[in-house]
């Protein structure tokens, strides 16, 4: 299934991207803002996520119930999300419903009411969401760990903010931030499926999103963090399992080494044939959930190992994980392992072409991160070109004892882990 990508850039800075898919009746329409939690000042931590929630509370012509009924009538596939680097709204509909879907989301994003009563109500909802994280040990550990790994930096903050910051988001503050940050100049609209680029562009030009944008002083500049290497052990006697994260810096999303980084992470812990899965779960039976992954931001990245196990087995899981990192640092990877994950990645890339939602998201990601579209052929060629030496270079640079950070949460008693126990030998 080939790509047929068309783009239009409006004078107000809005970018329109479409990917025409033949033989389908679906259409996905996404509104992706190039702003997220890392762009917020400390005192407004969580406001992007708050706005993501509160645009559903009503507009000048739709009540919250109207919005709920309309999205259900369109199929109920409206998704909204906030990350550290973007805020997005996407809906998947039957192709002939695209104009209605556009009108709904454009209205929500351009004319939200933000009444104080609605905002107070949603503040309580989001604080309940925070409590859900506190009741989920892996998510709670993630928040604790990120704050220590990215000290005094927005990437270390929770995307949802804090109860204290969220309670300050009144009508004036929310409206003003929305006006300054959530404007067409920071927006990418991407559509994929049975869509016509000209018709999508006409819809946008005729809406408020096609209007000129005045200077508003909003700064989207970001500063790269300096990653720390903390060792954090938090005791929680209410948990049956102990959860752990081991992490270290890794290439950024804009780094050409990202292809090798992704493949290396998959070899170490990306699937059921990965080294960690086979060693920790299959050979030793120490964990149901274990693996590794990499997260890539525009200016930095991190590689992480994660697992959940019985508290008395935490030390053994850590030792086995460090041993696998040491093996990767000493011997890199094998030809067979590299070929396996290349085939796995190729399948993932090609199968995603059959889903309009995946293709719309890919359009937006390429634009926001790279400022251009990266073709499927280019992606596959870059993956295929990764060598054992590329993987070895990554382990030599990043798999270093002084870089390893560790976080543990659970009923771990007097567990103590020092830097020597995390030593990577190569």
Positive or negative, the Cα torsion across 24, 29, 35, 40? Answer: negative
Predicted confidence (pLDDT) at residue 276 exceeds the cutoff of 70: yes
Sequence-ordered alpha helix ranges (H) in 135-214: 137-149, 163-166, 171-181, 197-206
Q: What is the mean pLDDT of residues 97-101?
A: 97
Helix (H, G, I), strand (E, B) or coil at 112: strand
CATH 3.30.830.10 intervals, the chain:
5-210, 231-422
- Determine how many CB atoms are found less than 10 A away from the CB of residue 142: 19
Give the strand pairing for 187-193 and 289-296. Answer: unpaired
Asked if 388 and 332 count as a contact pair (C-beta separation under 8 A), the reply is: yes
Out of 3, 11, 40, 52, pick the active-site residue: 52
- pLDDT, one tens digit per residue, over 344-393 is 999 999 999 999 999 999 999 999 999 999 999 999 999 999 999 999 99
What pLDDT sits at residue 426? 73
What pLDDT sits at residue 3? 72
Q: Place 76 in a pLDDT band, splitting at 50, 70 and 90.
A: confident
Q: How many CA atoms lie within 13 A of 27 on its CB side?
A: 21
Q: What is the mean pLDDT of residues 305-311?
A: 97
Instruction: Give buried/exposed letters for 314-333 (b at 16+ CB in 10 A, else e).
Output: bbebbebbbebbbbbbeebb
What pLDDT sits at residue 215? 63
What pLDDT sits at residue 219? 76
- pLDDT, one tens digit per residue, over 193-245 is 999 999 999 999 999 998 888 766 677 888 999 999 999 999 999 999 999 99
Q: Place 1 in a pLDDT band, splitting at 50, 70 and 90.
A: low
Q: What is the mean pLDDT of residues 68-97?
A: 96
Long-range own/partner contacts, residues 199-205 (CB < 8 A, 24 or more apart): 199/98, 200/16, 200/18, 200/29, 200/98, 200/102, 201/8, 201/16, 203/99, 203/102, 204/10, 204/14, 204/16, 204/102, 205/10
Could you tell me which of 291, 43, 296, 91 has the C-alpha nearest to residue 189? Answer: 91
Q: Quote the CA–CA distance of 86 and 186 in Å, as a whole number.
A: 10
Share of the chain above pLDDT 90, in %: 93
- pLDDT, one tens digit per residue, over 403-416 is 999 999 999 998 99
So what CATH class is 5-210? alpha beta
Whether 52 is a known active-site residue: answer yes
CATH of domain 231-422: 3.30.830.10
- pLDDT, one tens digit per residue, over 13-66 is 999 999 999 999 999 999 999 999 999 999 999 999 999 999 999 999 999 999
Residues 6 or more apart whose CB falls under 8 angstroms from that of 269 comprise 275, 276, 277, 290, 291, 292, 293, 305
């Amino acid at each position: 299934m080939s790509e047929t990508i068309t783009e239009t850039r409006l004078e107000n800075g809005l970018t329109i991207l479409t990917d025409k898919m033949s033989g389908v009746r679906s259409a996905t329409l996404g509104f992706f803002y190039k702003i997220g939690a890392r762009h917020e000042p400390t005192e407004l931590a969580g406001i992007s996520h708050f706005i993501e929630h509160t645009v559903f509370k009503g507009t000048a012509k739709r009540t919250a119930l109207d919005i709920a009924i309309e999205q259900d009538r369109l199929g109920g596939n409206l998704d909204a999300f906030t990350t550290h680097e973007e805020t997005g709204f996407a809906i998947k509909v039957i192709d002939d419903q695209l104009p209605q879907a556009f009108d709904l989301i454009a209205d929500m994003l351009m004319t939200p009411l933000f009444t104080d009563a609605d905002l107070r109500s949603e503040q309580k909802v989001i604080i309940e969401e925070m409590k859900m994280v506190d009741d989920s040990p892996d998510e709670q550990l993630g928040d604790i760990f990120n704050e220590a790994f990215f000290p005094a930096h927005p990437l270390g903050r929770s995307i949802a903010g804090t109860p204290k910051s969220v309670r300050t988001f009144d009508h004036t503050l929310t409206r003003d931030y929305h006006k300054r940050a959530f404007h067409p100049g920071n927006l990418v609209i991407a559509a994929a499926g049975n869509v016509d680029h000209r018709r999508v562009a006409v819809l946008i030009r005729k809406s408020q999103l096609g209007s000129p944008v005045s200077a508003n002083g909003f700064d989207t500049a970001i500063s790269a963090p300096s990653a720390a290497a903390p060792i954090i052990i938090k005791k929680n006697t209410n948990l049956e399992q102990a959860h752990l994260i081991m992490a270290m810096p890794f290439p950024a999303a804009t780094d050409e080494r990202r292809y090798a980084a992704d493949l290396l992470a998959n070899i170490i812990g990306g699937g059921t044939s990965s080294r960690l899965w086979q060693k920790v779960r299959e050979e030793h039976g120490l964990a149901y959930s274990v693996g590794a992954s990499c997260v890539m931001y525009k200016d930095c990245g991190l590689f992480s190992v994660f697992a959940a196990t019985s508290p008395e087995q935490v030390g053994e899981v850590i030792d086995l994980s460090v041993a696998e990192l040491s093996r990767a640092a000493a011997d890199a990877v094998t030809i067979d392992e590299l070929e396996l994950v290349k085939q796995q990645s190729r399948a993932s890339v090609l199968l995603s072409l059959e889903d309009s939602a995946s293709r719309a998201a890919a359009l937006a990601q390429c634009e926001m991160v790279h400022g251009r579209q990266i073709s499927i052929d280019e992606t596959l060629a870059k993956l295929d070109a990764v060598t054992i030496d590329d993987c070895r270079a990554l382990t030599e640079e990043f798999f270093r004892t002084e870089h390893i950070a560790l976080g543990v949460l659970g009923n771990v008693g007097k567990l103590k882990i020092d830097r020597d126990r995390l030593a990577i030998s190569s």
